[in-house]
Structure formats: C-alpha cells, structure tokens
Amino acid sequence: MDTRQHHPRPKRRWRRILLAGGLALALSAGGGAAWAADRFLIEHVSITDVSSYEAANSNTSDSIGETTNATVTDTAYDSDQADIALSTVSTGSGDDTVTYYVADVTLTDATALRSAFAGDAFGTNITETTSAIAAANDAVFAINGDYYGFRDTGIVIRNGVVYRDEGAREGLAFYEDGHVEVYDETATTAAALVADGVWNTLSFGPALVEDGTVVDGIEDVEVDTNFGNHSIQGEQPRTAVGVIDDNHLVFVVVDGRSAGYSRGVTMTELADIMISLGATTAYNIDGGGSSTMYFDGALVNNPLGKNQERGTSDILYIAGSVP
C-alpha cells in the first residue's frame, strides 16, 4: 500500500509562525511586544551557508550521503548506505482512532543519517517545512528535527560540527560507530561529545524508553519553561526516535488533533508504541503540527488532518539518488 500523499514538490520559502496563547498575550502587553517579536518571530541568523561551514569544519568525507545501487518502491528504499521500510498502523475506532507511521531504518554507515537546517542557515526563528528542507538536500527520507531554533539552549551538534554548547536538558546523541544514547547535557560539553565520536545530537525529550522499559514520570517532564512548554502534554501529534540496535533505528510519527482519523497519543502511549516496535531506547522530539515524515518526494503522514505542514528549524534525513 502506498502510504504517501503525493503533492507537488514544495517551493523553498520562509515561514514565520505566530505562537498561540502566551505569545499573543505578550504581544498585547505594550512594552513586551518588541521583546516577544524579537524572541519568537524575527529571524536571527548566526551562520549562513551551513553546507560550506560544515565542509570547512568537519573531518568527515564529502562522499557521505552519496548513494549508488539504490532501489525504491512506494514503501521501501534499499541502497548501499541504508535500508528503509515504511508502514502505517491504525488502531481504535471513532474518536479513539490513533494513526501512526513507522520507518524501520538500518544504516550501513551511521553518518548516512544527517541533519539539515531550514534555509541552510543556523539561528533562531528560521523555518521551512520538512518537505522543503528535505527537497533542498536531496533527501529520500526525512522527519522533523528538534526545532532547535525555538530556543537558545541545548547542545547542537550536527553532522559532526558544533553549533551550540548550552547544556540544559536530557539529550540524545548519535555516534559515528552506530550506537545512540540518552545523555545529560549539563554534565558534558559539545567538544567532549565530538571528541568521543558524536555525529548528531537532539535536544528536546523526554527520554521515553530506557533498557526496554517506559521511563517513569514522562507525563510531567518540562522541556522548556517558556511559552508553549505544556503543549507537549496530553494526547498530541508526536515524533520519536527509537533504537533497536547499533545502526538499526525506528522513527515514528503519530498524527493527531483530528477526530475520527487520529487523536494523538500521550507520552506513555508513545513509549508503548516504541517498545512494541522493538526499541530498547526511545526519545521524544518536536511534535504537534511539526510532526512530519517525508519519503521519496512526498509527504507520508497527514499533519493535523489537513495535509499541511508547519515550518520547522531542522530535519533528520537520509540522502540518496533515486533511479
């Protein structure tokens, strides 16, 4: 079954997102308006032309991400660097229906899983859709990242290059040898992580599964203390990364906020899904309208039941030429 929803390839464009609730109040609060606009709406570019920046600062071969001998079907991609199998799961009925999308990914080389930024620039409030970022980077598969640009804390290492070293929360580290682990950002530095072989980090959370068991207290974790933090609680659209073994990952996107199609899931329900797929470690990343899976030039899931993506700061992706 073709899980993808075919749309014309999106044009590259910038999107500014007006955050609801607390931000709307801040914008109406006179002197706070300028601060709120600067913090949440105005683009702040720290590094332009990230591709060139990474080429100049990475010790990894430029050949990473190139693909030969690749085959693709509606639900699978097999190449010298990665095998990807897609599936769709729907459970429940009526308003209790939950629909989610699974990508089972086996990497030949851990560095084939790459990251890319909106607009090929690093900073805050710089956004494009997952599909647009994926298309710009010749991705055959992608999911939304951790929306690093919504905050100015968290360790950000992408494709072996350090972009931010402000430890604040529980992060996820992908190593060049293929293993992935949850770690405490406040107990290390970005330089130390790179020296130990970290290739990519995500800074969102919480960790959902450790040692094959649901982590206690995940329904109450605060990722941020700014506006919108509590939107991660309750039944929501979700994106998660699971670890089955070295170089064997599972990515899950759960649709939500769409009665009769998919209500979304709680953190605990998401953890249970990850365990059912064989993950011994799993980590929650940015969700809500950002939750997006992309494959072979098309959107796989149905964000918010509207087939409309929300802009995000970054993606995780696998590049490859498709026959």
pLDDT at 21: 41
pLDDT at 10: 41
Residue 238, CA distances (Å) to 15, 94, 98, 267, 281 in order: 21, 20, 11, 9, 16
Residue 84 lies in a domain: yes
Residue 17 lies in a domain: no
Which residue is listed with tokens 């072996």? 160
Residue 67 lies in a domain: yes
Residue 20 lies in a domain: no
Band (256; pLDDT cuts 50, 70, 90): very high
Residue 145 lies in a domain: yes
Structure confidence by residue, pLDDT tens digits, 219-245: 998 887 655 555 688 999 999 999 999
**110: its two tokens:** 């851990």
CA–CA distance, 321 with 323 (Å, rounded to integer) = 7
Give the number of other CB atoms < 10 A from CB of residue 176. Answer: 16
Give the DSSP letter of residue 257.
S
From 77-86, 126-135, 205-214, 216-225, the region with the lowest mean pLDDT = 216-225
Our count of domains for the chain comes to 1
Residue 198 lies in a domain: yes
Residue 308 lies in a domain: yes
**Domain membership of residue 274 as a residue range:** 47-319
Which residue is listed with tokens 């959902």? 208
Closest CA to 84 of 281, 264, 317: 317
pLDDT at 301: 97
pTM (2 d.p.): 0.86
Residue 71 lies in a domain: yes
Closest CA to 239 of 267, 275, 209: 267
Residue 41 has pLDDT above 90, yes or no: no
What amino acid occupies position 322? V
Give the DSSP letter of residue 265.
B
Residue 2 has pLDDT above 60, yes or no: no
Structure confidence by residue, pLDDT tens digits, 120-158: 999 999 999 999 999 999 999 999 999 999 999 999 999
Burial 35-65 (b: 16+ CB within 10 A, else e): ebbebbeeeeeeeeebeebbeeebebeeebb
Task: Give the mean pLDDT of 11-26.
Answer: 40
> DSSP 3-state helix, strand, coil percentages of the chain (rounded to 5)?
25, 35, 40
